[in-house]
A and B are shown apart, each in its own frame.
Chain A
Amino acid sequence: MTRDSRKPLGLDDVFIVDCDVHANEPPEALAPYIDMPWRRSLELLGRGPQRYLDIPGYAPILNLDPPFPDRGLGNRTVTTARQMRDDLDELSINVGILFPDNLLKIAVFPHVDYAAALGRAYNAWLADAWVSREEGLYGAVLAVPQDPKNAADQIRTYGADDRFVAVYLPVAGLRPLWGDRMYDPIYEAAEEMGLPVMLHSVGIIHPHFPFNLEHVESRIVRHPINHEFALMANLFTMIANGVPVRYPDLDIVFTEGGVSWVPFCMWRMDKEYAEIPTGAPYLERPPSEYIKEMYFCTQPIEEPARSRDLLTMIDLFDGRDKVIFASDWPHHDFDHPRTVLNMPFDADLKRNIMGETARRLFKLPIPVPVA
């Protein structure tokens, strides 16, 4: 049966890959998977009071805000693969790529061995209880930045499992930023295993740039700095230190930043590069050319008053085959796929953004898209 080409595409007419959904991992869920002595720590944490993504010693956030009633409504969690599959079905999403909840903040831990053990436990828990080709739930291997060699081992271990299709690079509270040469083992392993790396941040107050926001009283200020500014800072360092030059087959993906900051990064970096070329000695081409080869997730999709401006924005970075859908389900700022599908894009672009580009990028075993 063929679709009436005059009708707008509906959710069921496209194959939807959601490049960012979150599996909730309370301490007690990871306790059976973590090495001693850290199991004792997670058992203790599991017995204590747990607030939403706000658990000292496990998901520190330094929340300084006074609470008000009936806010924080988006504190939804998805605690099982079954629940995630049901939720994604409800949203008409075919495939989800899993990210953590609490461990979005894993980069802040000063105890390197604890952080590395948490990362190993999370990856083992995903493999055991979440990822499934049949259910369309795929994992991103958590690469703990504090211990790049351990992270590289994890990437090689789980990269051989076809239920893992990416590497998750935590951004919140990271130091140094992802362009630093200390992370080379992670990039080397990801490139070797053919897994894209996906940078993902989260809301946090932390002494490390650009998260040192303890003086900012409004979340409306902190939130975009936690996400977009942090992604920009990491992108700059990755360009300046030549990550895409030294790992030319590595695909780099930015999540939870929308797309409108990408042209700024291209043009600003090109300007700097023209005036201070010694600042990026690894580069063989202007920065913008590398940035155009990167991928950007839609969420939080910009919703300009003139929705066609979004298409203009994507064209500014030649992004029609580089923008990929993400919902961020079940977080408070998630985007329903309908919101992206209803943007004034042509049918081919809609199919690419909603799933076809991601299907190619992550080599997903879906042979034929929905007719």
Chain B
Amino acid sequence: MPRIRVGPADEIQPGQPAFVKHGDIEIAVFRVDDGFRAYRNRCPHQQGPVCTGPVSGTLVATADTDWRLAWVLEGRVLICPWHSMEFDLDTGRRLRAQSERLRAYPVEVREGEVFVQLGPRSARPVTPSPA
């Protein structure tokens, strides 16, 4: 399975993913709290360019918030620019519809360089902390 070089780790900032292409497949690498996540730039809904959307937070109202509106997951919610579907950047899962998820790839950081490993679906592409 090919391994794709993305670029220097310190050039990937929160909310500003790096994009790489392999054939028809476009992949975005995001910086999150404990490392990097790589997702295919295709929304499972209508195949929109999900990774070009903003990274933000979202509204919830749960028993934990006493059923009051609360703004949560700031910096962890990827919003598809086509239809505003929301995905948890940490897991790739769609918020409030956990069975849907972004196609994820393992990410590796070697000597300050970020690489994406193509191949079988990765359940949760946890990576080492940014160097």
- Measuring CB to CB, which residues of chain A are less than 8 angstroms from any residue of chain B? 68-71, 73-74, 332-336, 338-339
Contacts and interface: CB of A to CB of B under 8 A. Distances in A.
Given A73-B84, A332-B84, A336-B48, 10 more contacts: A68-B59, A68-B71, A70-B54, A73-B81, A74-B82, A333-B83, A334-B82, A336-B46, A336-B47, A339-B46
Nearest to A336: B46
Contacts of B83: 74, 332-333
Contacts of B47: 336, 338
B73 to A, nearest CB: 12
Contacts of B79: 70-71, 73
B106 interface: no
14 contacts: A68-B59, A69-B56, A70-B54, A70-B56, A70-B79, A71-B79, A71-B84, A73-B53, A73-B81, A74-B84, A334-B82, A335-B46, A336-B48, A336-B82
Contacts of A73: 53-54, 79, 81, 84
With most chain B CB atoms within 10 A of its CB, the pick from A73, A332, A333, A338 is A73
Contacts of B53: 73
A371 B57 CA distance: 47
Interface string B77-91: 001011110000000
A144 to B, nearest CB: 32
Interface of B: 46-48, 53-54, 56-57, 59, 71, 79, 81-84
A335 B48 CA distance: 10
Contacts of A71: 79, 84
Nearest to A71: B84
A68 B79 CA distance: 13
The 8 closest A-B pairs by CB, nearest first: A70-B56, A70-B54, A336-B46, A339-B46, A73-B81, A73-B84, A69-B56, A70-B79
B84 A338 contact: no
B56 A338 contact: no
Contacts of A69: 56-57
Contacts of B56: 69-70
A266 to B, nearest CB: 29
Contact of B46 (A68, A332, A338): A338
A123 B74 CA distance: 45
Contacts of A338: 46-47
A339 B47 CA distance: 9
Contacts of B48: 336
Contacts of A333: 83
Contacts of B84: 71, 73-74, 332
A73 B59 CA distance: 16
A335 B56 CA distance: 24
A335 to B, nearest CB: 7
Contacts of A332: 83-84
Nearest to A338: B47
A26 to B, nearest CB: 22
B56 to A, nearest CB: 4
Contacts of A339: 46
A335 B57 CA distance: 25
Nearest to A334: B82
A336 B48 CA distance: 9
Nearest to A333: B83
Contacts of B71: 68
Contacts of B59: 68
Nearest to A337: B46
Nearest to A69: B56
B61 to A, nearest CB: 11
Contacts of B82: 74, 334, 336
A333 B80 CA distance: 12
Contacts of A334: 82
Contacts of A74: 81-84
A71 B56 CA distance: 9
